[in-house]
Amino acid sequence: GQQLNQSPQSMFIQEGEDVSMNCTSSSIFNTWLWYKQDPGEGPVLLIALYKAGELTSNGRLTAQFGITRKDSFLNISASIPSDVGIYFCAGQLWGYGQNFVFGPGTRLSVLP
């Protein structure tokens, strides 16, 4: 099936640092979503992107829909301890119906 790659797989940062992660594929997507999953919980939607080049913010989070339509980026500014969790990207392919393909996730740890 279709695959999404997320980078990095995991990261350890100091509180207050900025974070960048990305999601890439060889396929073209028409929608990108970013989710966060806390331990023992279900994924929660953070940001949805619908147009190539689109830049959308949600508080300290900013995500971009790549110009090539094959990638997306998520940035977190001034990280805090509650940012800890797994961040998933999800993409919707042209002609793939209403389903999404999910990336394997980036695990973020924030050190005090």
Tokens matching residue 3: 């695959």
Closest to other proteins by CB, 40 vs 59, is 40
Residue 104 CB, nearest approach to other proteins (Å): 4
Closest to other proteins by CB, 97 vs 112, is 97
Residue 76 CB, nearest approach to other proteins (Å): 19
Closest to other proteins by CB, 1 vs 112, is 1
Secondary structure string (H, E, C) spanning the chain: CCCCEEECCEEEEECCCCEEEEEECCCCEEEEEEEEECCCCCCEEEEEECCCCCEEEECCEEEEECCCCCEEEEEECCCCHHHCEEEEEEEEECCCCCCCEECCCEEEEEEC
| Binding footprint of other proteins on the chain (CB under 8 A) | 1, 30-31, 33, 35, 40-45, 48, 50, 88, 90, 92, 97-100, 102-105
Residue 112 CB, nearest approach to other proteins (Å): 26
